[in-house]
Homo-oligomer: A and B are copies of this chain.
């Protein structure tokens, strides 16, 4: 039977999602817990790989087993076996492929507007009070739609196509908290962090919007990848069942 499991994790102490030798990763922790519970070797496939320190409100994962799984018992047992940093939210029997089934994926990047790193907002990137949020919003309008995002891809992973569709990209300011949500059909390696980096440079007047508009999907190359620890995989919605 093929299962689709939803998990959440605080990635601060992990070397990313993908299994690596000798380093703690989300994949190795989850596979280890599944092996203890199901008493067989299990390999999982995630909806995508989150980088070192990236967290997830929701991450979806496939695995296969011949064993019948009782949802409530399974969640309860897995959450007893797993570390405090990783928990199972849901599990269903499903033919959805976590990675390849068409989906809408949303990331959240957390920022805080302050002249110093605020003690009670350590999970947010500190942003200057002088930042131009209107300019940042203009940049976000530019990236919506289907474009070649090669300028926002960091070296390090090979893909067939660098064209992606951004369904939505918005900034929500609540007092000094600034939340950036971006929804797309998929993201290139470090693409969200390069979009955040470019957005912040626009907000700090280090990039001219008019000039950027000419080059963005042609010769532009992002030079600032925003730090990973403030990035959260926020939601995944599969478009077929």
Residue pairs across A and B with Cβ atoms less than 8 A apart, 18 shown, are: A8-B118, A8-B119, A8-B120, A9-B120, A10-B119, A10-B120, A10-B122, A55-B119, A55-B120, A75-B115, A79-B115, A84-B117, A84-B119, A84-B122, A85-B119, A87-B116, A87-B118, A120-B232
Across the two chains, which residue of chain B brings its CB closest to A232? B120
- For residue A240, give the distance in angstroms from its CB to the closest CB of chain B: 27
A86 at the interface (CB under 8 A from B): yes
A224 CB–B CB distance under 8 Å: no
9 closest A-B pairs (Cβ-Cβ)? A10-B119, A79-B116, A85-B119, A87-B116, A9-B119, A10-B120, A87-B119, A8-B119, A55-B120
> What B residues does A120 contact at CB under 8 A?
8-10, 55, 57, 232
> Considering only CB atoms, which chain B residue lies closest to A9 in the complex?
B119
Contacts of A119 in B (CB 8 A): 8-10, 55, 84-87
Interface residues on A, range: 20 to 34
Looking at the assembled complex, report how far the CB atom of A37 sits from the nearest CB atom of chain B, in whole angstroms. 15
Number of copies of this chain that the complex holds: 2
* Closest-CB distance, A119 to chain B (whole angstroms): 4
Residues in A lying within 8 Å of B, measured CB to CB: 8-10, 55, 57, 75-76, 79, 84-87, 115-120, 122, 232
Which of A84, A119, A120 counts the most B-chain CB atoms under 10 A from its CB?
A119
Q: Chain B contacts of A116 at CB under 8 A?
A: 79, 87
Least Cβ distance of A91 to chain B in Å?
Answer: 14
State A87–B84 Cα separation when bound (angstroms): 29
Given the complex, which residues of B lie within 8 Å of A122, measured CB to CB?
Answer: 10, 84
> Least Cβ distance of A120 to chain B in Å?
6
In the complex, what residues of B have CB within 8 A of residue A8's CB? 118-120
Q: How far is the CB of A234 from chain B (nearest CB, A)?
A: 11
Smallest distance from the beta carbon of A136 to chain B beta carbons, Å? Answer: 25
Query: Please, how many angstroms separate the alpha-carbon atoms of A85 and B121 in the complex?
Result: 10
Q: What residues of chain B lie closer than 8 Å to A10, measured between beta carbons?
A: 119-120, 122
Query: In angstroms, how far is the closest chain B Cβ from the Cβ of A88?
Result: 9
